[in-house]
Amino acid sequence: MTHTKLEYADVILPLAVPLLYTYKIPLFDLDLIKPGMRVLVQLGKKKVYTAIVHSLHNSPPKQYEVKEIQKVLDNTPIIPEIQLKFWDWIAEYYMCSRGEVMKAALPAGLKLESETHVYAKLGEEVIDELENDESLIFQRILSTGSVKISEIAKLFSGKNITPIIQSLIEKQVILAGEEIKEKFKPKIESYITLNGEFSNKLFIEKAFEACKSAPKQQTLFLTFLDLQTKSKNPNFRIKKKDLITKTGIAASVIKELIKKDVLNEINDEVSRIIEVNKNLVDAKTLNTAQIKALQQIHESFTKKDVTLLHGVTASGKTEVYIQYIKDIIAQGKQVLYLLPEIALTTQITQRLQKVFGNKVGIYHSRLHDNERIELWKNLNSCNEESFQIILGVRSAIFLPFSNLGAIIIDEEHETSFKQYDPAPRYNARDSAIVMAKLHNAKTLLGTATPSIETYYNVLQKKYALVELTERHGNFAMPTIEILDLAKAYKQKRMQKNFSKDLLEKIQKNLEEKRQVILFQNRRGYSPYIECTSCGTIPHCIHCDVSLTYHKYSNTLSCHYCGYTIKNKPTCIACGDSSLETMGFGTEKIEEDLKVIFPKSRIARMDLDTTRGKNGYSSLIERFENREIDILIGTQMISKGLDFDNVGLVSVLNADNLLHMPDFRAFERGFHLMVQVAGRAGRSEQAGDVAIQTFSPLHSTINQVKNHDYNTMMKEQLEERQKFIYPPFVRLIKISLKHRDKSKAIKASDYLRSQINNKNYIQILGPEFPPVGKIQNMFVLQILLKVNKKVAYQKIREELFNAITLVKTHADYKSASIHTDVDPY
């Protein structure tokens, strides 16, 4: 049998194009090229992109002329075969292009792109013949040799320079060409060594002679010899930075000695990944309940692929995970530990690094691109230095795992596992389960408050269940007290937004030197400002929302598009000065509390106070060290934080958690309140929880009070079944945007008419969402409730066709449409 080589490659381009593109493989690379490698290809007239080889084949395209691959960038695939299959699954399930998945998956630095550069063809002599702008640009090109067009554009900010460049090219004064730039720069560290053998007396004498007349050089030389002697290392070297800080000697002195051949400077590539302390500690020993849970987990995985670990707050789930990770990596397999965005706290990072040291790699949104690339290279290299455990957020599911044994998804119920914008709009929890199956790995979901969807899968026997019902160390569950705000207002037992009962509790805790956490799910000072004379509320000019008042900057800003204006003392409509701030956020709480408890140390933790790189960890550290008495915070404080001196936790307004126009409102309210309450009493001293509400009889509030997950779950499942919501149907939300309001309405009506009713149990809309205009675009949404029994493949095809019809319709093609599968 003759073996024919595969001559064509279908590649994924990092664009929102629906199809793969076919390129011819250069003869030279026929043996080398494999799916999962990066290649450079030209698309269109000049632009060069990095593409990923998806598959190889031997059928020459007939409709068009193929271009050849310009360059193969890798020797071995950087996307393992299984991960490439996983990309396909994401693209299909979440209805987006593979290019969009590629954009989400690859760090920017691994995607090389070409940029147009221009060069001078002629010399200075032609300047006089050029027009004003032309000669300016030409002189700039002459002075540097080669310039990026984008750089010239920056210099002429705002002005369109394309015609000027065009004319220069036409006059044959300059040339243009495409250039690829390597974005990843390895970190270089300078080391200083002796420029000869330490034991070579002749060298040392000569060196000493060389710096005899310069006292500073002499001191440096002697200090260096001293350091080397102490190190007892004949190949001793020291970081240039350290040498400077240790000796206080200027860099210029070092430079002189290098010039005199006494010292030598070596530049070495170093890792950006911070080395952790190698003094590892043993994992904490598990208590009986935890040991039993671990056994049950192992046992359940012999029958099922997914297990839910339902453990009450402070039951010590993390310790169980750590032991489980130990068991998996002992088999030589990798573990992915997923956490929600906000919860990637230093607390958990440190706990894992203490036990596993350099085996742990961290992947989160604040990482720089170069650090991401190093993590990729580390996993791609597959050697002893490779990480075996990755602790990461949502996007970590795209890392190049080659030997995955298990995925742990902590705080499984968290909504931040779902990406909303841009596409792919994937849920990392659900996707991870699929990925685990592709790798033949197991998934462990953990939480104190399982999502309704997950628990339903347990009831359907799809997932196994393991429970931890007792708090670690047998600490008592906190007592939860409901404070009736309506009653408090009536009896005039209110001060600002605090009931007298709550203030008394805070006072008592402060006296006992115990800390207090207050939860308010809204940042800023107040959600909006209202003129009490004419009722005007300032709105965003681009979006259909009221502007949020920020006191520290005295501004009103739009949380949708960022539109910000200065806050004026008088009403913009009637000029009256009777403006009032409505509602309250964490900033206002902080201000009021400082007046009520002037002697207490009060801090606030929300998006605004944790923006800086260390803002978050320093706040936690200060709280841990008891430098803060009262901590006010948003969602952020509800996740996985473990403090042992918290005596009181309070939810300041439970109602705005529950009364949201969302079928998940009660479930989420329950999750949030239970998680917040869980911050109390994590030591021998019990902790109290107080919830302020206008609806003390609300069933969800009482389920929280009684720590009664099961009743909440059953009640919610009944509601979902009755009103046809997940997990009984699959939701697909289609959003259509258009600049023109009436066209937006017509286009969405047309789209609705193209959707086949038979495939759906219910179709809602098109309707304007609560915010019907964002950045001057009118938005309409259609909500589809999909019968899970109908083949999903069929639904996708039908929807794709309907959307294509709108996009090619003469009147509606400027509408932009996106789909969100399993939306939140």
Q: Which residues bind DNA (CB under 7 A)?
A: 15-17, 19, 21-23, 41-47, 61, 63-67, 113, 116, 160, 163, 813-814
> Among residues 113 and 749, whose Cβ is nearest to DNA?
113
Q: Residue 575 class from Cβ within 10 Å (0-12 exposed, 13-18 middle, 19+ buried)?
A: exposed
Tokens found for residue 745: 């309405």
Least distance in angstroms from the C-beta of 793 to DNA = 23
Least distance in angstroms from the C-beta of 148 to DNA = 11
> Among residues 260 and 741, whose Cβ is nearest to DNA?
741
> Among residues 10 and 715, whose Cβ is nearest to DNA?
10
Least distance in angstroms from the C-beta of 11 to DNA = 9
Least distance in angstroms from the C-beta of 178 to DNA = 8
Least distance in angstroms from the C-beta of 5 to DNA = 18
Query: How far is Cα 675 from Cα 635, in angstroms, rounded to an integer?
Result: 9
> Among residues 47 and 246, whose Cβ is nearest to DNA?
47
Q: Are strands 67-68 and 21-24 parallel, antiparallel or unpaired?
A: parallel
Query: How far is Cα 554 from Cα 208, in angstroms, rounded to an integer?
Result: 65
Q: What is the dihedral of CA 488, 494, 496, 501, to 10 degrees?
A: -90
> Among residues 46 and 212, whose Cβ is nearest to DNA?
46
Tokens found for residue 221: 């030389």
Phi and psi for 499 in degrees, rounded to 5? -80, 155
Least distance in angstroms from the C-beta of 67 to DNA = 4
Collapsing DSSP to helix, strand or coil, 781 comes out as strand
Tokens found for residue 15: 């664009």
Element (H, E) at 251: helix 251-259
Least distance in angstroms from the C-beta of 17 to DNA = 5
CB atoms within 10 A of CB 170: 9
Least distance in angstroms from the C-beta of 45 to DNA = 5
> Among residues 45 and 278, whose Cβ is nearest to DNA?
45
> Among residues 9 and 407, whose Cβ is nearest to DNA?
9
- HSE-CB of 819 using CA atoms within 13 angstroms: 20
Least distance in angstroms from the C-beta of 66 to DNA = 4
Contacts of 182 (CB under 8 A, 6+ apart): 112
Longest dimension (CA), the chain: 95
**Measured distance between the N- and C-terminal CA atoms of the chain, rounded to whole angstroms:** 55
**CA 175 to chain CA centroid, nearest Å:** 42
Least distance in angstroms from the C-beta of 43 to DNA = 4
Least distance in angstroms from the C-beta of 815 to DNA = 9
Question: Using H for helix, E for strand and C for coil, what is the string for 665-681?
Answer: HHHHHHHHHHHHHCCCC
Least distance in angstroms from the C-beta of 177 to DNA = 12
> Among residues 46 and 496, whose Cβ is nearest to DNA?
46
Q: Quick check: 643 and 515 in contact, CB under 8 A?
A: yes
Query: How far is Cα 554 from Cα 187, in angstroms, rounded to an integer?
Result: 42
> Among residues 116 and 247, whose Cβ is nearest to DNA?
116
Least distance in angstroms from the C-beta of 107 to DNA = 17
> Among residues 167 and 349, whose Cβ is nearest to DNA?
167
Q: Residue 171 class from Cβ within 10 Å (0-12 exposed, 13-18 middle, 19+ buried)?
A: middle
Q: Is the peptide bond before 450 cis (omega within 30 degrees of 0)?
A: no
> Among residues 17 and 244, whose Cβ is nearest to DNA?
17
Helix, strand, coil percentages, rounded to 5, for the chain: 35, 25, 40
CB atoms within 10 A of CB 578: 12
Query: How far is Cα 208 from Cα 220, in angstroms, rounded to an integer?
Result: 11
> Among residues 779 and 815, whose Cβ is nearest to DNA?
815
Query: How far is Cα 773 from Cα 741, in angstroms, rounded to an integer?
Result: 9
Q: Quick check: 746 and 812 in contact, CB under 8 A?
A: yes
Contacts of 170 (CB under 8 A, 6+ apart): none
> Among residues 552 and 800, whose Cβ is nearest to DNA?
800
> Among residues 3 and 45, whose Cβ is nearest to DNA?
45
CB atoms within 10 A of CB 550: 19
Q: What is the dihedral of CA 243, 248, 250, 253, to 10 degrees?
A: -70
Least distance in angstroms from the C-beta of 735 to DNA = 16
